[in-house]
Amino acid sequence: MSERLEEIAARMMTAGKGLLAADESTATIKKRFDTIGLESTETSRRDYRQMLFSAEEAMRDFISGVILYEETLFQKASDGRQLAEIIVAAGAVPGIKVDTGAKPMALFPGETVTEGLDGLRDRLAKYHAAGARFAKWRAALPVSDTLPSFGAIKANAHALARYAALCQEAGIVPIVEPEVLMDGVPGNHSIKRSEEVTEETLRITFEELADQRVSLEGMILKPSMVIDGKKARKASVQEVAERTLRVLKRTVPAAVPGIAFLSGGQTTEEATAHLSAMNAMGPLPWTLTFSYGRALQTEALEAWGGRPENIAAGKRAFSHRAKMCSLAARGQWKKDMEKAA
């Protein structure tokens, strides 16, 4: 089984390709649709995601996997095919978000722990049967002078490790996502504080993964970049890249096949620039790529606007952004490439 997990992880980490995070909850996609004045219904959500998954150039050349929301994994396209089949036909791997969200942590004011372990083994069997070959679980850690506490980091890392073990048992590659929030409260922490918290979080996470016997070769890490708080942003692209790589080299074993960053709170262009700067500083022990949601979708959503006649424009916008992220995953993105498009 571990060999198969390694093969799936290797396909997900194909050079120059990355992951499309299309796993927005029903509440989140409604907020996105509100920005273009579109009602969120099962059909409109289906139409939007079908547009992305059928953008041939993007899916074939730049996307190696797609993280789905449960509804989407079981949805059919307008031509009757499962949406997951469209993803597979493009050469990408379908995946599934399996946590049930961050809930307030008892006796830890201002902190959360991610839930969803109850019944997970049975759900994973159902997802595997539906075609999912990787999964995602997100832990969210707010930063201040005192947060996150050791207890909250430990609880979230333990849940991530138990989830990862269940995934591997089911033949599914776990994406382990401990997100150190840049937009927590108050959101004015320094990049130095972010670096300290990220390092401690990753160190504890890998200790827990080892305790749960998780195979490092059959998992993917999805961390946040080391970045200053949303209200204190002043670090240069180079500083973000250097500090992020320093932390990863200290904490992430070389056996992990790949690291796919989340874009959390960054603009589309920032997320692309930071990733490219890190890859330009190689060689590195792991593949460094993207697992972006908003930073891959914003332009496509605006170009589409919920109108059938704009599907081609939406696909073009998505393909352009995916290409820019692909260049960043090779360390070859330049700001003037954006203007050229």
Q: Is 338 part of the annotated catalytic residue set?
A: no
Q: Is 230 part of the annotated catalytic residue set?
A: no
Of 24, 70, 111, 177, which one is the catalytic site residue?
177
Nearest to 49 by CA among 77, 19, 70: 77
Q: How far apart are CA 144 and CA 162, in angstroms?
A: 27
Q: How far apart are CA 1 and CA 117, in angstroms?
A: 22
Q: How far apart are CA 328 and CA 130, in angstroms?
A: 32
Burial letters for 161-174: b for 16+ Cβ neighbours within 10 Å, e otherwise?
bbbbbbbbebbbbb
Other CB atoms within a 10 A radius of the CB of residue 186 amount to 13
Nearest to 187 by CA among 126, 94, 265, 279: 265
The three-class DSSP label of residue 260 is: strand
Provide the 8-state DSSP code for 75: P
Other CB atoms within a 10 A radius of the CB of residue 10 amount to 16
Of 222, 299, 315, 323, which one is the catalytic site residue?
222
Amino acid identity for residue 3 in this structure: E
Q: How far apart are CA 321 and CA 330, in angstroms?
A: 14
What DSSP assignment string belongs to 97-141?
E----EEEPTT-TT-EEE---TTHHHHHHHHHHTT--EEEEEEEE
Nearest to 207 by CA among 168, 253, 261: 253
Q: How far apart are CA 185 and CA 129, in angstroms?
A: 41
Q: Please, are residues 148 and 141 in contact by the beta-carbon 8 Å criterion?
A: yes
Query: Strand 102-104 to strand 93-97: parallel, antiparallel, or no bridges (unpaired)?
Result: unpaired
| DSSP helix, strand, coil percent of the chain (3-state; round to 5) | 50, 15, 35
Active site residues: 177, 222
